[in-house]
Structure 1
């Protein structure tokens, strides 16, 4: 099963994250199948490839809770409740 989730990168105490497609059992910083976007929590910058994310969701990939909240906020996913 595939999951769209965050992969941490960046320096110590200066995190940034990549939105990636990974196998559900792989490690957080393991090998990604595809990179779909970028999130920087310090500047609150979110960049993503909407077409590829929609394509992967249509194929059955499940977003993590954090990624799902991002997608609801930006309007990629509709009619779903936010997960807290």
Structure 2
């Protein structure tokens, strides 16, 4: 499973994070698949590539709680949910309505002789 999470690269008492797409089995500061943004908590500065984040979310990547909060503040989660609702609506409208299967009339028991 791919997760969108923080990777710490700052030194002691000077945190700085990269927002990355990484395999959930890899440790926090280990290998990652793709860099999607940065977060500086001391300056409260967030830089995110919206297109990459939406691509990963569409492909099933799960953001961690902290990353989800950062995305929400940037409006990315709202855009993602609106896109999913619009997609679901178009899929629902494009499917032809299927008639409910008719129930067969119960068979009468054969008369005993």
* Fold shared by both chains (TM-score > 0.5): yes
Which blocks of at least 5 consecutive residues in structure 2 are unaligned? 82-113
Give the alignment's TM-score, normalised by structure 2.
0.68
Which blocks of at least 5 consecutive residues in structure 1 are unaligned? 80-84
1:17-75 CA distance string (max 9 Å, x none): 00000001110000011000000000000001000000000000000000001111111
Q: Which protein, 1 or 2, shows the higher relative CO under an 8 Å CA cutoff with sep ≥ 6?
A: 1
- The answer to which structure has the higher strand fraction is 1
- The answer to which structure has the higher helix fraction is 2
Once residues 69 and 10 of structure 1 are traced to their aligned partners in structure 2, the CA distance between those partners, rounded to angstroms, is 21
Bigger radius of gyration = 2
Q: How many residues align?
A: 79
Give the alignment's TM-score, normalised by structure 1.
0.91
CA RMSD, aligned part only? 0.9
Displaced runs of 4 or more, over 2 A: none
